[in-house]
Chain A
Amino acid sequence: MQITVTVNGTGYTREVEARLLLIHFLRDELRLTGSHWGCDTSNCGACVVWLDGTPVKSCTVLAAMADGRQVRTVEGLARDTRLDPVQRGFAECHGLQCGFCTPGMMMTARWLLDHNPAPTAEEVREVLSGQLCRCTGYENIVRSVLWAAEHEGDQ
């Protein structure tokens, strides 16, 4: 079947199997390999991208369900060459080690800050509770998001 999905502002029309998962469409069809996958049971969140402005686990969504919709991935976080404050926060606060969970964490963080510009540490932990990290023990991820909240206005 043919689908048209807008990813990071660009429309892509492709012929796909109905069963193709959105994460595979992004990674293998469109070669946007910044989003990752890490489990079989929708638990790990390495695959989190935005679908119509809302973070979803793209391993649990069919590409067909994204037909006619907007997707935003980590590759669409930066504006041209300007990193998003979330990206800068993660680099500034050592919020990543192996980098595998990072795109998903950043996409959720960006969404959180869009809706709650001054979250508490507890709120950050809560919103990330469906996404696993094996390296950081979450401490610096939380600090990174709080840093981004404080530096939204910076250039």
Chain B
Amino acid sequence: MTSAYGRLPRKEDARFVRGLGTFTDDVALPGMLHGAILRSPLAHARIISVDTTAAEAHPKVRVVITGAMLEQRQLAWMPTLSRDVQAVLATDKVRFQGQEVAFVVAEDPYAARDALELIDVEYEPLPVVADATRALDPDAPVIRDDLAGQRDNHIFDWSAGDQAATDAAFAAADVIVRQDMLYPRSHPAPLETCGTVADLDPVSGKLTVWCTSQAPHAHRTMYALLAGLPEHKIRIISPDIGGGFGNKVPIYPGYLCAVVGSMLTGKPVKWMEDRSENLMSTAFARDYHMHGEIAATRDGRILGLRAQVLADHGAFNGSAQPTKFPAGFFHIFTGSYDLRAAHCTVTGVYTNKAPGGVAYSCSFRIAEGVYLVERMVDLLAAELDLDPAELRMQNLLRPEQFPYTGPTGWEYDSGDYPRALRLALDMAGYDKLRAEQAEKRAQGEHMGIGLSFFTEGVGAGPRKHMDILGLSMNDGADLRVHPTGTAVLGISCQTQGQGHETTFAQLVAEELGLSPADVEVVHGDTDRTPFGLGTYGSRSTPVSGAAAVVAARKVRERARIVAAAMLEAAPEDLEWADGRWQVRGDPEQGRTIPEIAMAAHSGLDLPAGVDGHLDAGTVYNPPNLTYPYGAYICVIDLDPGTGEVRVRRFVAVDDCGVRINPMIVEGQLHGGLADGVGMALMQAITYDTDGNCLGGSFMDYLLPTSVECPSWELGETVTPCPHHPVGAKGVGESATVGSPAAVVNAVMDALRPFGVRHADMPLTPANVWSAMQGRPVRTDLSDS
């Protein structure tokens, strides 16, 4: 029987290529009204008054909701995913440019937009904290004076690793290299913005919410807690979603306002944000000011690693990561190397900027950690005058060291790192590239070669350690097998383009000897699917995928018993082969799942305690994260006269364990590699010192196009995950996590002859040129 795994074209494409997807803005309900949000133009200001009279008098406006109105319903503030609170609509102050101040509900979206201009808000400007490095100055204005006892802009301190052992490692080192580096504020910017259609039926009391949500069940539970509605009367439907990338995990004020709008008008209310709202107010990513130190022997043995991080969380701490880890999984920053010791500290601060921090395929801050260690390794190579590939090879963990517990507590499951690096070097023709570089330098031409080797831990996670607001990160799967032998799988994770309708069908089909065409995957509708925490952090395959396999195996075991009854054999005498339960030694005596399903529902006599069906469900509690890894090599050409960088080639070798659908895996990698080019060379959300957001449109928040991206060269190794039911690891974020360092390292490699040691992303032509002049630019903040 051929395997169901493989490069199966996607089932979901049938509707998308015809333009028949249903995205949230496609939803139109009878009587539906439209919402629009009035946002603060100022980064920090007291609200003196909000006058909505003129807006309410607009003939097409039904209601205007203010913070004061929400306050009366105890809805003006909502909890965030980090146990802070966030204003739904501002009451006392506005704390970032773009913060929500009022919500208009009107008959059509153009009228709603017009009505915004009729709302009069009087502000009293306050001094702004736009520079995270100044947020803890003694005279810094206190942003969160709404929190009792909050006297500064400090959020948390967190640390990991063994400080004493790390100090000892550093004391023993011949060489210590230190570097400050910024991972600038970035934004996932999925092509579809965030939005919702909220429909509270006044008769039945049922709230139905179509929403661009990566975690519909978690949203449902949150609405129940927030709005005091019984959870069984809430239905969240995530229809087709045009990209998530972590941007669509939180509950945004606009969603809640739409629900309130529906409550007040008795009609469905749609709210879709525009792109400037998306960039200025929804979950941003990164914004880590990092200081790295690496200690090594003179011949390149890395002994220890230290990092101190200042984390800019914006005006509310809304970052989305497992609750026990305020800095996410940053402490995996030891990377892929065999170190004696490591220690890191992370300090989180408030600033007058949008809330967020964990998004954009960071695997909960692993992107930041990988960038740090891979830059430090390259800086060490430069310091010791060693080839960066050789330095890495010398220090990579060896296969015999797995499973490996790192100096900050992570248990890496499996890996053959040297093999992946060798493959990448071969594919790139590394030695030839270095020879070409030397030749070119002699002729005044400049190219750079940059490496990045990363390990990440994805698939959160074990319920003992990982929860979000008390909801453990386990996911469910329900599998029903119809009498005629086709199946429906309900999963809790939610696709935003990852191809779950296909890969999950393949997973089940493989376990049950069915065709993937005979397995329908249902996701996104909380009325039809089991509970789970949603899709982000590359957890679909490790958690939901495992759940689907476990459920399918339960079905198969049920089927064994029914098949035994059909064949009048003992269950233990049956073996599973070629998609059938068959009598061991007598393969003619066998039954397929469809045959068994029909029999289960028939009058067949079944043993006591065995019900007449094949359905099964499970909630999967992963024993550990999974640890995909990769070796990336980027080749760039530099024009030193203008500072322009062109990405010539990008080689990416990835190991994500067993690949269910290699075509889909490769697609995920392609997309993430483009993120690396974008973040390294052009993307950043910058602010000026008045807190004005300078990245509020695609004219200034630049995303890579088909022209900046090379043709990606992918390689693969497969080291199965020992604890996953089919040996698969997560992969969705690997390329986004691993690629920026490769591009930056390549640019820095090209700039070595010019005496440049480090320059921060984004390495725009101006930034590269400025670095060459010895004046590297601070890329997160500009003068007003």
Contacts and interface: CB of A to CB of B under 8 A. Distances in A.
Given A34-B20, A39-B275, 14 more contacts: A20-B110, A33-B25, A33-B26, A83-B17, A88-B17, A91-B9, A91-B17, A94-B663, A94-B664, A96-B16, A99-B13, A129-B707, A132-B705, A134-B190
Interface in B707-752: 707, 709, 711-712
B672 interface: yes
Contacts of A44: 191, 275, 698
Contact of B706 (A24, A36, A99, A138): A138
Interface string B8-25: 011011111111111101
Contact of A78 (B16, B18, B667): B18
Contacts of B672: 137
12 contacts: A40-B697, A43-B698, A77-B19, A90-B13, A91-B17, A92-B9, A96-B16, A97-B671, A99-B17, A125-B709, A138-B706, A142-B711
A128 interface: yes
Interface stretch (B235-243, B310-318, B334-342, B376-384): B235-243
A40 B276 contact: yes
Nearest to B678: A134
B106 to A, nearest CB: 14
Interface string B625-666: 000000000000000000000000000000000000001101
Given A97-B671, A134-B703, A139-B711, A38 B193 contact: yes
Contacts of B703: 132, 134
Contact of A100 (B23, B669, B699): B23
Interface in A50-77: 73-75, 77
Contacts of B16: 96, 99, 102
Contacts of B190: 98, 100, 134
A137 B242 contact: no
A126 B707 contact: yes
Interface size class of A (residues with CB under 8 A): 35 or more
B19 A33 contact: yes
B496 interface: yes
A91 B241 contact: no
A133 interface: yes
9 nearest A-B residue pairs (beta carbon): A34-B19, A98-B497, A100-B242, A99-B16, A137-B670, A97-B497, A74-B19, A43-B698, A137-B674
B21 A99 contact: yes
> At the interface, is chain A mostly helix, strand, loop or mixed?
loop
Interface of B: 9-10, 12-23, 25-26, 28, 109-110, 188-193, 240-243, 245, 274-276, 496-499, 663-664, 666-674, 697-699, 703, 705-707, 709, 711-712
A38 B247 CA distance: 14
A116 interface: no
Contacts of B498: 97
Contacts of A131: 705-706
A139 to B, nearest CB: 4
A3 to B, nearest CB: 16
> At the interface, is chain B mostly helix, strand, loop or mixed?
loop
A130 B663 CA distance: 26
A46 interface: yes
A149 interface: no
A135 B19 contact: no
A43 B705 CA distance: 11
Given A41-B275, A41-B697, A75-B19, A138 B193 contact: no
A101 B274 CA distance: 16
Contacts of B243: 97-98, 100, 134-135
Contacts of A20: 110
Contacts of B13: 90-91, 96, 99
Given A33-B19, A134-B243, A98 B192 contact: yes
A135 B671 contact: yes
A46 B17 contact: no
Contacts of A83: 17-18
A136 interface: yes
A102 B707 contact: no
A99 B110 contact: no
A40 B275 contact: yes
Nearest to B499: A97
Nearest to A139: B670
Contact of B9 (A94, A138, A142): A94
A19 interface: yes
A98 B26 contact: no
Contacts of B10: 91, 94
A141 B153 CA distance: 46
Given A44-B191, A78-B18, A140-B667, A99 B705 contact: no
Nearest to B272: A37
Contacts of B670: 136-140
Interface string A12-24: 0000010110001
A39 B18 contact: no
B17 to A, nearest CB: 4
Contacts of A137: 669-674, 709, 712
Given A128-B706, A129-B707, A139-B709, A91 B698 contact: no
A112 interface: no
Contact of A73 (B15, B19, B496): B19
Contacts of B242: 36, 38, 98-100
Nearest to B22: A33
Contacts of B240: 98-99
Most central of A132, A137, A142 by chain B CB within 10 Å: A137
B14 A39 contact: no
B688 to A, nearest CB: 19
Contacts of A126: 706-707
Contacts of A103: 19
Contacts of A19: 110
Contacts of B709: 125, 137-139
A99 to B, nearest CB: 3
A129 to B, nearest CB: 5
